Amino acid sequence: MEIFNHNANVNFLGMRRLSIGIAVLLVLASLALIFTRGLNYGLDFTGGVLVEVQYQQPADVGQVREALAQGGMETAVVQSLGGTRDMSIRMQPTPAMRDVDGKVDLDRVAAVIGKALQASRPDAVLKSRSSVSSQVGAELRSDGSIAAVFVILGIGIYLWVRFERRFAIAAIVTEVHDVLVTLGVIALVQREFDLTVLASVLAVIGYSINDKVVVFDRIRELFRLARKAEPEEVLNRSINNTLSRTIITSLFTGITMLALYLIGGPVVHGFAITMLIGIVVGTLSSIFVASPILLWLGVSKQDLMPRSKEDPELARRP
Amino acid sequence: MTDFPRWKYALVALVLLFGIVYALPNAFPPVPSVQVAAIHGAVVDTALQQKVAAALKQQNVAYSDLALDGDRLVADFANADVQAHASDVIRTAVGDNYTVALNLASTVPGWLRAIGAKSMPLGLDLQGGVHFLMAVDQNAVIDKQEDRYTDDIRSLLRQKNIRYDSVARNSQRGQGVAVVLRAAADRNAASAAIAAEYPDLNVQDGATTGDRFVLNAAVKPEKLRDLALGAISQNVGTLRNRINALGVSEPVIQQQGDNQIVVELAGVQDPAEAKRIIGATATLEYHPGIGFPGDPRAVEAARSGNVPPDARLYYERGSRRPVLVSKRIIVTGDELADAASGVDQQSGAPKVDVTLSAAGARKMLDYTTANVGKPMAVVYVETLYDTKIVDGKETRVPRVSEEVISDATVQGVFGKNFQTTGLATTKEASELALLLKGGSLAAPVDIVEQRVIGPSLGQDNIRKGFRAVLLGLGLVLLAAAVYYKLFGLVADIALFFNLVVLLAVMSLIGVTLTMPGIAGIVLTLGMAIDANVLICERIREELRNGSTPHAAIRAGYEKAWATILDANVTHLIAALALTTMGSGPIKGFGVTLLIGILTSMFTSVTVTHAITALIHGHRKLKTLSV
């Protein structure tokens, strides 16, 4: 079975002004979203208390919010954990949740929230409760950024050594694009940004670079094989040759993440959805963004010939 | 014709066999159990077994198994609720001389266990329990050191007859001690004396105004770092002792980062109880001894209950021999500055070096001057909390446990520094050093994160995670078979084995399975197929370019391999960064991804190549099903 016409030769590089223009717009829009709307940081990052509640009968988020407001907890963030019976409630601890020393006491947290919920719905049962101090969250945010920078730089250095400087730069720029656009979408839909989502964003970098390397590899191969290598044509052919693989792999990985999203439960919801967004962004950028950058950086056949040809003896001959 | 060497077939067969055997234990889910172990010299025997059986029967608690396992008694139950109820019943039945712990008993067959195969431990999100993240207060460590040196320098100057105006800590923490002297000569003398006595201090002349000659003595940064690290490992040690003594089985107590400690107690559902365990206070007291452990007077006192009015009767830790100790306290743990185990240079015997603060040293000097040749005992006082059922209600009873952890003869006059020798092994010495420090030095800990995960939530997560893995795997298997036909089926076999080998490696290393880890497994499955997509697409290309089937297979694998390697190495770099992220969920995911990438490189390339070679190797081919 084949979905793609293997003779297709779409001129992807021909639309590079348009594709890069859209990519730049997306990055700018994402940055604007991240800085104006901000990420909806989860408990791990903001600190506070979180409880997971299960209702015996279906309940809706508004109802839970109202019950909490009745109990004096107006600022609580209530989210459905998929379905109508499981909810998560997140908030900064109220004075009633602290013990005599001012420390958060999970038993008190459970008592205060449980009482407020059961006042209107006696079928509410608390399934888990957590408390995180804000200091932990601040550390995490810096750790996460450091990890992302480390990943991007590490990959850049590897590509520099294995390929060439221009490939490393193109990969890093595209990676930054992918991460920002993924974060932009998360900011747009205000999906809760927790630890698993952070893990997923880092995994998106891994996935997306995997995708780019396959195209880069083909570019190197075609440059080396071609007698007369017109860069634009070589890049176009590389994208077209690997197109079916690029799309099939993202479909295959996508369906596993879809399975995880559909039945993996609330814990991995954020992970799966972020990964799905990242797969779409990463696949598109492999096709439309990475290669135009490479072209602009001026990649050429000479840069990619095996080292042995750069023998100084040969260079000195007329 | 085949281009696949025989040794590679053998390698593939071996790896697959290894994968199946070492992944197998995960097919035997552990059962909730309660285990009883003896403390205070009690014994675990069939009498105890009958007692427990009778108690469970009386309370109508059904158990699936009740057996002696070495020095423990293990009872298995149907589910976590029964287990929790049973542990209360058993605790009441066996009394204080046993620890009763919730546990998950392995059902892995003996022959598998004999070759080191074990199932993956489950994270708290999959089995329920409490999780604490504690930050150690490093400021308190610095405060304590600087206070101690302030004291010490004052008494040193007095001892050396150097006149001073004041000795006080600098207002800013970490800046050390400021000594104000009245003359330049005094300052030089003081500087020399302090530098000679305390090599861990940096001594520097400060500002001179009129007749105020300032000398600054700050603790060296490397010493502070050592102390900070020491405080952490010591806290970890102390917590481990306490939690072990309380009988929570297989607790996770780990250092994380520079100043944090993670404690995870599976099965415990009451954070208040866990907090009390963690926060139990322990102190040390040095007392004059009266006789030695097990001597006739002490045995007589223990038998008759007639303890002399100025004495107390304690038991020695470990041996449980009775010992009489004077009520008088020489020094307490607060005055103990450091304790380190080592080996005596001359005799080669294990020893513990103890350092006291200046105040403690004076008291110790006073006592030892008058009491050479007499015994001195160290009493370890710990306050623990027990939960007991009284009139059907749960009540918490504080229990003070006092034990003699060391009893030795005073060999000479000493003050600040002394050694405890006569210890049987180096292990005993390091344990004593840990106890001495644990009773006194531990920097205060602050709980910065806590989570309680109910057991039903854990079971829910396992079920969902398991189903997600199956569905994800099933969909990819189906898609690959439809799209790449025979080669897709071959890739499917390899993908299935990738899951098996991944589970085997994770089990063997002992990676804790968590929900993010399961997400990592699903992602690995989705991405492992990429190598096969690359290979199949290459083979199709080669066929289109007019290669013969065999040549297409060979060229397909060869050309795809370079790409697969580059793609996977870059992916590995990303996974590696994830594993360095300290915190639990990300790390669990990163480790799974890392192992998954490595196993997939083998299964997707070598295993499929072997199968392909088996199928196509010796036949003349006109077409390929790809």
Residues in contact with B242: Cβ distance below 8 Å, sequence separation at least 6, in sequence order: B277, B278, B280, B282, B382, B384
B316-367 pLDDT, tens digit each: 877 778 888 888 888 877 778 778 888 888 778 888 888 888 878 888 998 8
Contact: B540, A105; criterion CB under 8 Å: no
Tokens for B31, please give them. Answer: 């059962």
Residue A260 and residue A301 share a domain: yes
In a shared domain, residues A101 and A206: no
Q: Identify the band that residue A314 occupies on the pLDDT scale cut at 50, 70 and 90.
A: low
Q: What pLDDT is attached to residue B43?
A: 79
CB interface of A with B, residues 199-258, below 8 Å: 199-200, 202-203, 205-207, 209-210, 213-214, 216-218, 221, 241-242, 244-245, 248-249, 251-258
The stretches in chain B having pLDDT less than 50 are 1, 440-441
CATH number assigned to the domain with residue range B31-105, chosen from the 4 options 3.30.70.260, 3.30.360.10, 3.90.870.10, 3.40.470.10: 3.30.70.260
Asked if A245's CB is within 8 angstroms of B534's CB, the reply is yes
Looking at the fold, whether A52 and A87 belong to one and the same domain comes out as: yes
CB B234 within 8 A of CB B438: yes
A156 lies in the same domain as A294: yes
Domain extent at residue A199:
13-40+136-305
Q: Which of B477, B472, B460 is nearest to B521 (CA)?
A: B472
In a domain, A191, yes or no: yes
Of A42, A24, A58, A136, residue with least CA distance to A91? A42
Which of A132, A163, A181 is a domain's end point?
Answer: A132
Q: Would A317 be classed as within a structural domain?
A: no
ipTM for the predicted complex comes to: 0.87
Q: Which of A133, A241, A272 sits opposite B448 (nearest CB)?
A: A133
CATH number at residue A61: 3.30.70.3400
Residues of A in contact with B573 (CB under 8 A): 151, 154-155, 158, 206
Q: Could you give the C-alpha distances from A264 to A90, B171, B335, B522, in angstroms and in order?
A: 22, 55, 55, 10
B440-459: b (≥16 Cβ within 10 Å) or e: bbbbebbbbbbbbbbbbbbe
| Spatial CB neighbours of A37, under 8 Å, sequence gap ≥ 6 | A187, A188, A190
Residues 142-171 of A with CB under 8 A from B: 143-144, 147-148, 150-151, 154-155, 158-159, 162
Residue A123 shares a structural domain with residue A145: no
Handedness of CA B541, B545, B546, B550 (dihedral sign): negative
C-alpha distances out from residue A85 to A97, A116, A126, B584, Å? 25, 17, 12, 28
- Domain B6-25+455-616 is of which CATH architecture? Up-down Bundle (1.20)
Specify whether the CB–CB gap between A306 and A292 falls below 8 A: no
- Within A101-230, where are the H helices? 106-120, 134-162, 165-189, 195-225
Measured distance CA(B24)–CA(B18) in Å, rounded: 10
Of B447, B476, B590, which is closest to A252 when you measure between CB atoms? B476
CATH number at residue A243: 1.20.1640.10
Out of A93, A109, A132, pick the residue that ends a domain: A132
Residues A24 and A150 occupy one common structural domain: yes
- pLDDT above 70 covers a percentage of chain A that reads 95
Average the pLDDT over A175-183 and give the result.
95
d(CA A236, CA B266): 56
A163 and A259: one domain?
A: yes
Q: For the domain B280-423, what is the CATH code?
A: 3.30.1360
**Is residue A56 one of the residues assigned to a domain?**
yes
Name the DSSP letter for residue B511.
P
CA distance to partner chain A, nearest, from residue B1 (Å): 28
Q: Which residues pair with B31 in a beta bridge?
A: B105
Cβ–Cβ contact B598 with A under 8 A? no
Q: Do B471 and A52 touch (CB under 8 A)?
A: no
pLDDT digits (tens, 9 = 90+) for A47-71: 888 898 888 888 888 888 989 988 8
* Same domain? A128 vs A140: no
Same domain, A32 and A79: no
Q: Is residue B526 within 8 angstroms of chain A, CB to CB?
A: yes
Determine, yes or no, domain membership for A315.
no
Q: Residue A5 pLDDT more than 80?
A: no
CB of B468 within 8 Å of a chain A CB? The answer is yes
Q: Are residues A110 and A201 in the same domain?
A: no
**pLDDT at residue number B561:** 93
pLDDT tens digits, one per residue of A75-133: 888 888 767 888 889 888 888 888 776 778 888 888 889 888 988 888 888 888 888 87
Co-location of A184 and A283 in the same domain: yes
Q: How many domains does chain A have?
A: 2
For residue A192, the cross-strand partners are A40
How many angstroms separate the CA atoms of A53 and A87, rounded?
5
How is chain B split into domains, by residue range? Answer: 6-25+455-616, 31-105, 139-224, 280-423
Q: Are residues A161 and A249 in the same domain?
A: yes
